Amino acid sequence: MVKDAITLITQDHRRMEQLFDQLQSVPEQRPYLLDEIEAILTAHSRAEEEEVYPATAEAAHDEAQIRHSTEEHHEAEQLLARLKDCDPNSEEFDDRCREFVDAVKHHVDEEESEVLPALRRAVGEERVKELGIAFSERREQELQRFNMLAPGAIPKQRDLLEEAERLGIGDRADMNADELAEAVQRAKRG
Ligand SMILES: [Fe+2]
């Protein structure tokens, strides 16, 4: 079943929060986690800006909110670039990490309490579903561009994605590593 745009966006937000927790609690996995965070954050933001925000601005007559949200995406990307730029075992990393995580959490709160409810009110359920398809296609394209499937990029996810592709599992680009592992197991059982 096709998931609507609001469900897909919220799902990405929860995945991002899980990754933030791991980033803070499992230091040895930081380089791998940062790659996954970068791919998801970028794919999510571009898909949102290109497929969801224009519809929201038009329907809710709120250009200013959307401009503000887009600026926050860029700010988050800059903070992440600064984070990737320092030693993952340094104190500086902890400071920059806190700054990045706080900025993204603030943006997520605003989106879930204001932007997404306004979208649902303005366009209705059917349109939110259509936007879900557009969001998910754009996001998948961006993940591929990001080399999410390339050797060495994101090892665990990469192996699972290859296996999911062999097994013909649709929606695989929208799944996180745990969901992929589950879908692969299910497909193997038949
Ligand atoms: Fe956003």
For position 1, what pLDDT does the model report?
A: 60
The Å distance, Cα 8 to ligand 1 centre, comes to 12
What is the token pair recorded at 131? 């936007």
For position 126, what pLDDT does the model report?
A: 92
CB within 8 Å of 15: residues ≥ 6 apart: 40, 176
The Å distance, Cα 157 to ligand 1 centre, comes to 23
Q: What is the pLDDT of residues 44-85, one digit of tens each?
A: 999 999 999 998 888 877 788 899 999 999 999 999 999 999
Does the pLDDT of residue 162 top 80, yes or no? no
The Å distance, Cα 15 to ligand 1 centre, comes to 14
The Å distance, Cα 96 to ligand 1 centre, comes to 20
The Å distance, Cα 31 to ligand 1 centre, comes to 23
* Contact (CB, 8 A) for 73 and 49: yes
From the number of C-beta atoms within 10 Å of its C-beta (0-12, 13-18, 19+), residue 150 rates as exposed
The Å distance, Cα 115 to ligand 1 centre, comes to 9
* Helices 30-47, 125-145: crossing angle, 10 deg rounding: 130
pTM for the structure as a whole = 0.76
92 or 145: which leads in pLDDT = 92
The Å distance, Cα 76 to ligand 1 centre, comes to 10
For position 150, what pLDDT does the model report?
A: 46
- What is the residue whose two structure tokens read 């949102």? 48
Q: What is the pLDDT of residues 6-45, one digit of tens each?
A: 999 999 999 999 999 999 888 888 988 998 899 999 999 9
Does the pLDDT of residue 146 top 80, yes or no? no
The Å distance, Cα 104 to ligand 1 centre, comes to 9
Residue 71 to residue 164: CA distance in whole angstroms: 35
Average pLDDT over residues 121-133: 92
Burial 86-101 (b: 16+ CB within 10 A, else e): eebeeeebeebbeebb
> How high does pLDDT run on average in the chain?
88
